[in-house]
Amino acid sequence: MKRTNNNNWIFTISIILTAIVLAFLSFIPINIDYIKPFVVYFDPTKLLSNLPLWIFINSIIALYSHSEKTATLNTTLFNIVCFVSYCLFSKILTHAMPKEMFLTWIVFTLIWTIFSYLVWSANRQDTKGWILSTILLAILFSACFTYTENTISSTTILNFLLYVFLVVILYKGTKETLIIVVLSILLAMILNKFQIQIIFTKSACIYFNSVLL
């Protein structure tokens, strides 16, 4: 999944444009008749609060970057541009600033600035790649699913698809991928059982926000 130097600028520009578009989508008027049916599956106005989506996008950016360093730079750039764009659109269209999201978004950006360096190595076909893929999928699983001792259910159809897509992207062979998926689910459930909050999950972000405020 490495990218050549010739494509780095194109990839970076694409990241910036994607961030701006996602920020703008948060202000689509969902009361329009032909938009209403789709809101059941995906509400564009709640983009910035759908944590699994941001974990997935940051993972994709890191995995498809040219190197560990560019993975860090690209994910940081994406998160900053996205939130700054969201703030600008919010100020222009609603004349208000989303102050309640500042600290949460800053914490999330800082975490991914560090973690994306490791995520890039999940592409590897060795033990390190296996371990990092398992951890990454466990993080996304924790954000995408709710589970108890007897049941596991996806929070939304979109989040379920995000998890499946990331599994496909991290594919390392049928047997290997199946093992990684099982281990990631077990890891997520073990952490939940011992009430260890992964710092990427929604509840943890809310916790950080409440503490910092």
Contact 138, 198 (CB under 8 A): yes
Question: What pLDDT was estimated at residue 62?
Answer: 93
CB count within 10 Å of CB 171 equals 12
Of 45 and 51, the one with more pLDDT: 51
The number of distinct structural domains making up the chain is 1
Q: What are phi and psi of 154, to 5 degrees?
A: -80, 145
Question: What pLDDT was estimated at residue 210?
Answer: 44
Segment of 28-42, 141-155, 194-208 carrying the highest mean pLDDT: 141-155
What predicted TM-score, i.e. pTM, was given to this entire model? Answer: 0.79
Residues spanned by the domain of 183: 5-212
